[in-house]
C-alpha cells in the first residue's frame, strides 16, 4: 500500500494513520508525529552553504543547545517509496562512525511533510575546494603534509571498519578553524564484505576515479579511495586539478599520458576488464610523475607512485601511507592548530567553477563514453587514443 493510502492529512496540522489491523483511520498525536526524531523547527537556519547531488546543506543554530550545526536536507524529489537507498546508507554508516577526521552526524530531524528529512552534522567552517579556488597563496608543503596525514588517518579508520568512501575529492574534505580536516559526504559510501560482491563502477567524481572503475570493473576495494587520495595530494602540491578529464575517454587518456600505458605485466587482470573489449589504448611507455613534480623529493615521488599503482592490489594502504618516509622528512607537517584560517572565504563555499563542474559530472555521469548501448560501443570499437 502506498504512503498516501496509509497516511492522510486532515486540515492544516492533523494527520491520520490507517490501522493495519482494523483498517480504520486513527489520528496521530502531535507528540508522536516525529517518532523519536526532533522537529527541524527547533533549528534556526542561518544561511545556505552548499548543494550537491544528494542534498542541500544549511548552516543552522540548534535553539536547544545554542550550537552551530550543518543541516543537510536529503533530496526526495524523485522518491515515492520513502528514503533513497543512498540516504539510508549514509545515515547507517555515519551513525556508527566516530573519529576526529570523519565529520560527525549528530541526529536526524524531520519537518512536517514526509519528504522533509535533515541530517544534523557538525559544522566545519571551510571545504578545501573553496579554499584552493580562493586562497591568495597556495598551501605550503608543510601544510599539505598536515592535510594528507589527517586524510590518511581518516581513511585508515574507515578501511579498518570495512567502509569505502567512493567519492573522495577536495570538495568533500572539510576543515575547521583549528585546522582539523574531516572527510564528509558519505552518500556513495558502502560497507564491503569478503568475498567481495560486485558494485557499480559509476562512482567517484571523474577527476578522482581509479582506473579499474574507468575500465568498468565491478570489483571494488579500499584501493579506489587510495587512488583518489593520490589525486588530492597531487592537486594540493601542483595547485591545480591533477587529472581534469572532460569525459571518461579523456580521463583515460590523461592517465596514460601521466602514468604510461598499463599492461598485463604490471596489472595481471588488466586485459580482462570489460571496457578493453571495445577499444585499444595508445602506447605511451613513460611515467611522467617525476617530470610533473620536478621539485619534489625522492620520497615524495615514491609516495605518489605508490598511490597511483595501476594494479589495485599493489596500491599503498592508508596505514602504510601514514608511515611513508615523505612525512618524516623536512619540511615536516605542521600541527593542525597552526594551519591558516580563512574566515573571508566562508560564504564562498561550493560556488566555484570547480564545484559546478563536479556537480555537472555527478548529475550526468552515465558512462556515455563506454556507452550502455551497442551503438555507442560500435562507434568506439578499436578506437585508439
**Domain regions of the chain by residue span:** 38-122, 126-351
Q: Is the separation of the CB atoms in 74 and 84 below 8 Å?
A: yes
pLDDT at position 244, please? 96
Q: How far is CA 228 from the centre of its chain?
A: 9
- Listed residue (354, 358, 383, 332) closest to 205, CA to CA: 358
**pLDDT (0 to 100) of residue 17:** 63
State residue 136's pLDDT score.
Answer: 82
Which residues fall in the annotated binding site for ATP?
72
pLDDT, tens digit, 9 for 90 and up, residues 171-189: 999 999 999 999 998 988 9
Angle between helices 298-307 and 223-238 (to 10 degrees): 140
DSSP summary character for residue 18: E
H/E run at residue 43? strand 43-52
Q: What is the pLDDT of residue 323?
A: 97
CA–CA separation, 151 and 155 (whole Å): 6
Give the active site residue among 127, 167, 225, 369. Answer: 167
**Residues in the chain, total:** 385
Grid cell for residue 116: 522533509
133 is catalytic: no
Q: Please give the CATH architecture assigned to the domain spanning 126-351.
A: Orthogonal Bundle (1.10)
Return the pLDDT at 376: 36
Tell me, yes or no, if the pTM score tops 0.85: no
- Specify binding-site residues: 72
At the top level of CATH, the class of 38-122 is: alpha beta
| pLDDT value of position 380 | 38
pLDDT at 3: 42
- Residue 342: what pLDDT? 72
Calculate the CA dihedral of residues 198, 201, 202, 205 and round it to 10 degrees.
Answer: 130
Residue ranges in the chain modelled with pLDDT below 50: 1-13, 347, 349-353, 363-385
DSSP string for 238-285: HTS-SS--SSHHHHHHHHHHHH----TTT-TTGGGSGGGGTEEPPP--
Cell numbers linked to 265: 605485466
Amino acid at each position: 500500500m502506498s504512503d498516501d493510502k496509509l497516511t492522510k492529512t486532515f486540515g492544516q496540522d492533523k494527520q491520520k494513520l490507517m490501522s493495519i489491523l482494523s483498517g480504520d483511520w486513527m489520528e496521530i498525536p502531535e507528540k508522536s508525529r516525529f517518532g523519536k526524531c526532533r522537529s527541524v523547527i527547533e533549528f534556526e537556519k542561518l544561511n545556505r552553504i552548499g548543494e550537491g547531488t544528494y542534498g542541500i546543506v544549511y548552516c543552522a543554530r540548534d535553539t536547544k543547545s545554542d550550537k552551530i550545526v550543518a543541516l543537510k536536507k536529503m533530496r526526495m524529489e524523485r522518491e515515492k517509496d520513502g528514503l533513497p537507498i543512498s540516504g539510508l546508507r549514509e545515515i547507517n554508516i555515519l551513525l556508527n562512525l566516530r573519529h576526529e577526521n570523519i565529520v560527525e552526524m549528530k541526529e536526524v530531524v524531520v519537518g512536517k511533510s514526509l519528504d522533509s528529512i535533515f541530517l544534523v552534522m557538525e559544522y566545519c567552517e571551510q571545504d578545501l575546494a573553496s579554499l584552493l579556488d580562493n586562497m591568495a597563496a597556495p598551501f605550503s608543503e608543510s601544510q599539505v603534509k598536515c592535510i594528507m596525514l589527517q586524510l590518511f588517518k581518516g581513511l585508515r579508520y574507515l578501511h579498518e571498519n570495512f567502509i569505502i568512501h567512493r567519492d573522495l575529492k577536495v570538495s568533500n574534505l572539510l576543515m575547521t578553524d583549528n585546522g582539523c580536516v574531516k572527510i564528509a559526504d558519505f552518500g556513495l559510501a558502502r560497507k564491503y564484505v569478503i568475498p567481495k560482491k560486485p558494485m557499480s563502477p559509476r562512482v567517484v567524481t571523474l577527476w578522482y576515479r581509479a582506473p579499474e572503475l574507468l575500465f568498468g570493473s565491478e570489483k571494488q576495494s579500499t584501493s579506489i579511495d587510495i587512488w583518489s587520495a593520490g589525486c588530492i595530494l597531487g592537486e594540493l602540491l601542483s595547485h591545480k586539478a591533477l587529472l581534469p578529464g572532460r569525459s571518461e575517454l579523456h580521463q583515460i587518456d590523461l592517465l596514460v599520458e601521466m602514468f604510461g600505458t598499463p599492461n598485463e605485466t604490471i596489472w595481471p587482470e588488466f586485459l580482462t576488464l570489460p571496457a578493453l573489449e571495445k577499444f585499444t589504448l595508445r602506447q605511451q611507455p613513460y611515467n611522467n610523475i617525476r617530470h610533473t613534480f620536478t621539485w619534489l623529493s625522492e620520497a615524495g615521488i615514491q609516495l605518489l607512485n605508490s598511490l597511483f599503482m595501476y594494479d589495485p592490489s599493489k596500491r599503498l594502504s592508508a596505514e602504510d601511507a601514514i608511515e611513508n618516509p615523505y612525512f618524516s622528512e623536512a619540511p615536516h607537517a605542521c600541527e593542525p592548530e597552526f594551519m591558516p584560517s580563512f574566515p573571508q572565504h566562508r560564504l564562498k563555499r561550493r560556488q566555484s567553477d570547480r564545484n559546478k563542474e563536479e556537480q555537472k559530472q555527478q548529475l550526468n555521469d552515465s558512462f556515455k563514453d563506454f556507452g550502455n548501448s551497442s551503438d555507442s560501443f560500435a562507434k568506439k570499437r578499436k578506437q585508439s587514443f
